[in-house]
Amino acid sequence: MNREPGVAVRRVETRPFEGQKPGTSGLRKSVREFAEPHYLENFVQAIFNTLGGDARDALVLGGDGRYGNRDAIQRILRQAAANGFRRVIVGRGGILSTPAASCLIRKHGTDGGIILSASHNPGGPDGDFGVKFNGANGGPAPESVTAAIHAASGSLDHYLTCDAPDIDLDRDGCHDLCGMQVDVIDPVADYADLLEGLFDFDALREMLGSGRFRMRFDAMHAVTGPYAREILERRLEAPAGTVMNGEPLEDFGGGHPDPNLVHAHALVALMNGDDPPAFGAASDGDGDRNMVLGRGGYINPCDSLAVLTANAHLVPGYRSLAGVARSMPTSRAVDRVAAARNLPCYETPTGWKFFGNLLDDGRITLCGEESFGTGSSHVREKDGLWAVLFWLNIIAARQQPARAILREHWRQFGRDYFTRHDYEGVDSAGAEALMAGLRERLGSLPGQQFGEEVVTEADDFAYEDPVDGSVSRGQGIRLYFESGARVVFRLSGTGTAGATLRLYCERYERDPTLLELDTQRTLAPVLDAAAAIAGIEAHTGRTTPDVIT
Ligand code: VG1
Ligand code: CO
């Protein structure tokens, strides 16, 4: 319960802010919006108000190091003390990657954690900031909790804080803050230990330490630098310089910390240059995404999940799997592996929060999203470095390059050509109208032909959680075609300006002579049909997407 109002605890009058509604992954707004007096404190108080008195014991706190991170940590610590928490565990320097925070919540059995990050969104004074709340299982708060936080934010009239000097975040140590214990700890060690227990570090050390196998990991000046250096360069003895852009910077060096072919251009150039390394990888702002590149091309995240599933038996921590799950827009590549291996396979809405119950209930071991997110039951978040180590472990066990493993996979299971087209910063009203137009026509689309494609089924994805029975509707429009292709339309829940329309497109190919075609060209007829059906140009004024992955 609240600490007895004493000398230190202070009640600050406030008024609700519109729109403190967590999206796909926490509350994400511009730095400028977060700078409004009381904006951060209001949202944090709304989180605390949804926690019962007996869930205010201990918290984990840290962030991706972006602009505003340190200051926010000091303010949240004072609020936590005033709201009666007994103990907060903070990463040194205010640093905690999202998967490391999940690991610490679980290891220390805290009531949850607050992660300060806008993930792959740019940082700096003109960038974005974000606050995510994870529960006692270490995973993102489920929709019932985020809805309660939003509701609480709408009726706030005060928050509690206390007057105390800043804690020294740069040295490990134990502090007293208005009667609350603050432990500043190494942000990397527990997480690195956890991964060391899952993978064959001896085999990886032999491969990376010998210099026989050269790799590069691009931390994009975001949070994974210290983690990658500890794991790859120290524990696995890869040569210094294996980790590039390894210093976390407040503005990510001016870059966009999203590990895809567009934003991880330095790494992509290196992999396409003379004498490229055998393997390249990158992670995002908060360390939960991964991009994996072999010589000769990158590995689509949908395929990546399928390959990890098919080869899991080669990895010590994953000799047997309970089941797998993918987000709905993710291609059905993993479904084919699951069917062949008799594994349960679940299809969830976009966002990691929907995997939590399946993992907690022991129904799945591996899960992933097309948006460069892959993970497992070791934590309750997607995990960039984990995915990289999983790939390296498979490469070491099979003694084959990444692309060769992928090619063999296609030959065995067929290939699901997949692409995502993002139309960013489009007018919200236009984007909403596009989605509404599709919803209205769900009944009439089947049977209609658009170019070469005939629609066979159309629906608006709804998910009933098999563990707690909760239902989430309106999770994306799915269109299926006679050719076996599928497209999905949904609006992003992580942007901070206007709307972002995401168009996901896939088509399955079994013919062994057609497995290495150009993805965009192969999917062009389906993409054209999708654009015509939705009226993308009419609603958004755009003829081409901003980002293609
Ligand atoms: C995007 C991705 C989604 C991912 C989410 C958070 O959401 O599509 O798959 O879970 O980002 O990722 P949206 O609503 O913009 O499509 V991250 O790395 O923020 O934590
Ligand atoms: Co992220």
Q: How far is the CA of 62 from the centre of ligand 2 (A)?
A: 14
Nearest CA to ligand 1 atom 16: 492
Torsion sign over Cα 405, 407, 412, 414 = positive
Ligand nearest to the CA of 494: 1
Going by pLDDT thresholds of 50, 70 and 90, the confidence category of residue 151 is very high
Q: Does residue 498 lie in a domain region?
A: yes
Q: Write down the pLDDT at residue 497.
A: 80
Same domain, 216 and 357: yes
Q: How far is the CA of 120 from the centre of ligand 1 (A)?
A: 8
Nearest CA to ligand 1 atom 13: 492
16 contacts 43 by C-beta, under 8 angstroms: no
Same domain, 200 and 236: yes
* Average of per-residue pLDDT across 406-435: 96
Same domain, 129 and 268: no
Residue 492 CA to residue 490 CA, distance in Å, equals 7
Nearest atom in ligand 1 to 327's CA:
9
Q: Write down the pLDDT at residue 7.
A: 52
Q: How far is the CA of 230 from the centre of ligand 2 (A)?
A: 20
Work out the mean pLDDT of the chain and round it to a whole number.
95
Same domain, 374 and 302: yes
481 φψ region: left (φ > 0), alpha (ψ -120 to 50), beta (else): beta
The pair of structure tokens assigned to 36 is: 């409004």
Nearest CA to ligand 1 atom 4: 351
Same domain, 25 and 69: yes
Same domain, 406 and 332: yes
Residue 183 CA to residue 23 CA, distance in Å, equals 30
Q: Which candidate, 361, 329, 359, 326, places its Cα nearest to that of 345?
A: 326
Nearest atom in ligand 1 to 24's CA:
14
Same domain, 145 and 261: no
Same domain, 120 and 131: yes
Q: Does residue 4 lie in a domain region?
A: no
Q: Which of 350, 381, 413 is the last residue of a domain?
A: 413
349 contacts 319 by C-beta, under 8 angstroms: no
Q: Does residue 299 lie in a domain region?
A: yes
For 225-276, how does the pLDDT look when each residue is reduced to its tens digit (9 = 90+)? 999 999 999 999 999 999 999 999 999 999 899 998 888 989 999 999 999 9
Question: Of all residues in the chain, what percent carry a pLDDT higher than 70?
Answer: 99
Q: How far is the CA of 142 from the centre of ligand 1 (A)?
A: 15
Nearest atom in ligand 1 to 495's CA:
15
How many CB atoms within 10 Å of residue 66? Answer: 32
Q: Write down the pLDDT at residue 210.
A: 84
- By residue range, what is the domain housing residue 114? 9-187
How many CB atoms within 10 Å of residue 382? Answer: 30
Q: Which helix (H) or strand (E) segment is 504 a member of?
A: strand 499-509
453 φψ region: left (φ > 0), alpha (ψ -120 to 50), beta (else): beta
Nearest atom in ligand 1 to 285's CA:
18
Q: How far is the CA of 120 from the centre of ligand 2 (A)?
A: 5
Q: Does residue 1 lie in a domain region?
A: no
Q: Which of 148, 172, 187 is the last residue of a domain?
A: 187
Q: Does residue 84 lie in a domain region?
A: yes
Nearest CA to ligand 1 atom 19: 119
For 165-208, how does the pLDDT look when each residue is reduced to its tens digit (9 = 90+)? 999 999 999 999 999 999 999 999 999 999 999 999 999 999 99
Question: Of all residues in the chain, what percent carry a pLDDT higher than 90?
Answer: 92
Residue 216 has pLDDT above 90, yes or no: yes
Q: Does residue 129 lie in a domain region?
A: yes
Same domain, 254 and 318: yes
Q: Write down the pLDDT at residue 4.
A: 52
Nearest CA to ligand 1 atom 17: 119
Residue 175 β-bridge partners: 182
Q: Write down the pLDDT at residue 287.
A: 97
Nearest CA to ligand 1 atom 8: 371
The angle, 0 to 180 degrees and rounded to 10, between the axes of the packed helices 98-108 and 189-196 is: 90
Residue 1 has pLDDT above 60, yes or no: no
Q: Is 419 helix (H, G, I), strand (E, B) or coil?
A: strand
Residue 255 CA to residue 455 CA, distance in Å, equals 40
Q: Which candidate, 62, 26, 99, places its Cα nearest to that of 375?
A: 99
Contact residues of ligand 1, CB 6 A cut-off: 24-25, 119-120, 284, 288-289, 327, 350-352, 369, 371, 373, 492-494, 502
Going by pLDDT thresholds of 50, 70 and 90, the confidence category of residue 3 is low
Going by pLDDT thresholds of 50, 70 and 90, the confidence category of residue 2 is very low
Q: Which of 350, 367, 372, 500 to mutate to test the pocket of ligand 1 (most atoms within 8 A of CB)?
A: 350
Catalytic residue numbers read: 119
Q: Does residue 367 lie in a domain region?
A: yes
For 275-312, how does the pLDDT look when each residue is reduced to its tens digit (9 = 90+)? 999 999 999 999 999 999 999 889 999 999 999 999 99
Same domain, 427 and 451: yes
* Average of per-residue pLDDT across 494-503: 88
Q: Which helix (H) or strand (E) segment is 259 a member of?
A: none
Of 52-56, 390-394, 445-449, 463-467, the range with the lowest mean pLDDT is 52-56
Same domain, 177 and 276: no
Q: How far is the CA of 284 from the centre of ligand 2 (A)?
A: 6
Q: Write down the pLDDT at residue 55.
A: 79
For 45-76, how does the pLDDT look when each residue is reduced to its tens digit (9 = 90+)? 999 999 987 878 999 999 999 999 999 999 99
Residue 472 has pLDDT above 70, yes or no: yes
Q: Which of 141, 162, 187 is the last residue of a domain?
A: 187
Going by pLDDT thresholds of 50, 70 and 90, the confidence category of residue 326 is very high
Residue 386 has pLDDT above 70, yes or no: yes
Same domain, 439 and 522: yes
* Average of per-residue pLDDT across 323-338: 98
Q: Does residue 377 lie in a domain region?
A: yes
Nearest CA to ligand 1 atom 3: 351
CATH number, domain at 478? Answer: 3.30.310.50
The 3-class SS string of 403-417 reads HHHHHHHHHHHCEEE
Ligand nearest to the CA of 287: 2
Q: φ, ψ for residue 324 (rounded to 5)? A: -135, 160
* Average of per-residue pLDDT across 10-30: 94
In the chain, the number of structural domains is 3
Q: Write down the pLDDT at residue 24.
A: 85
Q: How far is the CA of 86 from the centre of ligand 2 (A)?
A: 29
**Any idea how long the chain is?**
549
Q: Which of 494, 500, 501, 503 to mutate to test the pocket of ligand 1 (most atoms within 8 A of CB)?
A: 494
CATH number, domain at 239? Answer: 3.40.120.10
Nearest atom in ligand 1 to 351's CA:
10
Ligand nearest to the CA of 222: 2
Q: Which candidate, 124, 291, 295, places its Cα nearest to that of 218?
A: 291
Ligand nearest to the CA of 285: 2
